[in-house]
Amino acid sequence: MQVSFACTEQTLRSRTSEDRLCPNRPSGGQNGVTVAQTKQRTPPMGAKNQSQVLPLLSHILRESTVKATGMKYRNLGKSGLRVSCLGLGTYVSTCIYTAVAENLMTVAYEHGINLFDTAEVYAAGRAERTLGKILKKKEWRRSSYVVTTKIYWGGQAETERGLSRKHIIEGLRGSLERLQLDYVDIVFANRMDPNSPMEEIVRAMTFVINQGMAMYWGTSRWSAMEIMEAYSVARQFNLIPPVCEQAEYHLFQREKVETHLPELYHKIGVGSMTWSPLACGLITGKYADSVPEKSRASFKGYHWLKEKAISDEGKKQHSKVKELHPIADRLNCTVAQLAIAWCLRSEGVSSVLLGVSSSDQLLENLGAIQVLPHLTPQLVTEIDQILGNKPNVKKDSRA
């Protein structure tokens, strides 16, 4: 079996004081890969620049940093669950072997990532099986990491998809069997189901939590109105409300995360877990001139990405990405690191799910954490002027 870990297209304020949840882990492991060995550029940690930004961050959210890895941890929304600000998303393809997937998870874990995201639909369940096999082989303490899965598309039968009570319960049982776990930390409703009443959905999610099959539940690709309805139903019937929404978020996809979700965060404590920070590779610039062989856009089933990359809109986005290079150069980082750090600065974002297919890509993306303190309000404004797509919001985000 072959597996790739990548962005999933199908795919904070804490109420407690800062704490150090994760034990010190070595920065490199049996694979011998460390941050220092990557050839990617690392931004200087200037005290002057940090002093301009860190006070702004400290009153918005509580985050702790493990010195051994440099990873930052945030609350998932206003729940008590602490997750790494960067997580690892998974899906199966035909280009990456299982051994590479294991190496990616090992590098991620040893560098502080404690969040692994999957779904029942990814490769018809094979992604969950692969993730489960790796976790079992590594024998990491179950209490030291967070596993999330998503329920909606489970099979071909009418009763094997959607958010009926039947499929939520049976679908999650199937996921747990494939993952070889007693529970997942978060189960997501992977889009809204117009055929299932909201009360049935919330009651089923409450049931699986009360049964110990999940710790929390969240939503994915839901509108703000749908999330608020779920919260209202939960409060009305003394049920458990969602704690998080999974949403696409990157330089060219901003409105939902920057305008709708912050309001939900402040009103009902729902956080954001975002995916596709590099727009499936478009922001890296690798599709600027053509579609490289063995890139995601060349895979079967990703014709839509190829069309997007070569479209007029795609060319405009490539042009804007090129304009970001001088800013990245000033920060001594890559555009990919800049783009991920830009996502991390958005209000209410608990974690950004990464999509990588090699340890080099993963280590480069991890460097975004060092870029974050350097995103001053002036730099953010400069980026907004280049993008020209800043949504109208009631108040500014973290930076």
Cβ–Cβ under 8 Å, residues 10 and 89: no
Window from 182-191, 251-260, 287-296 with minimum mean pLDDT = 287-296
Buried b (16+ CB within 10 A) or exposed e, 172-187: bebbbebbebebbbbb
Question: How far from each other are the two terminal CA atoms of the chain, in whole angstroms?
Answer: 43
> Over 80: is that where the pLDDT of 13 sits?
no
Q: Which CATH number fits domain 38-387: 3.10.20.30, 3.20.20.100, 3.30.70.20, 2.170.190.11?
A: 3.20.20.100
Is the pLDDT confidence value at 370 over 80?
A: yes
Q: Is 313's pLDDT higher than 70?
A: yes
Determine contact, residues 365/19, Cβ cutoff 8 Å.
no
Q: Which of 73, 122, 145, 152 is catalytic?
A: 122
Output the pLDDT for position 37.
Answer: 42
| Whole-number pLDDT of residue 295 | 54
pTM assigned to the model: 0.81
CA–CA distance, 124 with 126 (Å, rounded to integer)? 6
**Comparing C-alpha atoms, which of 371, 367, 370, 355 is closest to residue 40?**
367
Active site residue 122: yes
- Least confident range from 122-136, 257-271, 284-298, 321-335: namely 284-298
Alpha helices in the chain (DSSP H): 47-58, 98-110, 126-138, 165-179, 198-210, 224-236, 255, 261-268, 303-310, 312-330, 335-344, 359-366, 368-371, 377-387
Structural domain boundaries in the chain: 38-387
